[in-house]
Structure 1
Amino acid sequence: MDIRQRLSLNLRRYRHDAGWSQEEFAERAGIHRTYVSDLERGARNPTITIIERLAKALSVNAGALLD
């Protein structure tokens, strides 16, 4: 499994655990909903800055999104 696949699975899992829609997650992270969708499908390569924003919104360490 490549790093994009790990990121997409972890994002989806943490978002579901939080009970958030993609729209709510995107709002909390300060990014567009379609970008969240693309990330969860493994269609985008986010910058480290975006990974940090996603992690902060989910209250996890950025490394947890890539494990």
Structure 2
Amino acid sequence: MTNTLRVERAIKHITQQQLAEAIGVSRQTINAIESGKYVPSTLLALKISEVFGKTVNEIFILEENDK
């Protein structure tokens, strides 16, 4: 799975720390998600999508080998 989290943050001028505080996780968690080292839970993905006003599918994209 890939994601556009880094791009979405840049568009909104939000740091990893600010996003982390907004959704109740650590900055390291945001970094791990952006790096593809951690796949967020459904709840976390929904919270992230809410911050950016986008659907989960617009931020998190399944790759061919995920299907």
Q: Which has the larger radius of gyration?
A: 2
Give the corresponding residue for 1:20: 14
Greater fraction of residues in helix: 1
Stretches (4+) displaced over 2 A? none
Structure 2 CA distance for aligned equivalents of residues 32 and 58 of structure 1: 18
Task: Give 1:66 deviation, angstroms.
Answer: 2.0
Give the corresponding residue for 2:65: none
Structure 2 CA distance for aligned equivalents of residues 31 and 57 of structure 1: 13
TM-score (norm 2): 0.81
Matches within 5 A, 1:1-67: 3=1, 6-7=2-3, 10-67=4-61
**Partner deviation per Cα, 1:14-67 (whole Å, 9 max, x = no partner):** 011000110011111221111001111111121111100111112211111124
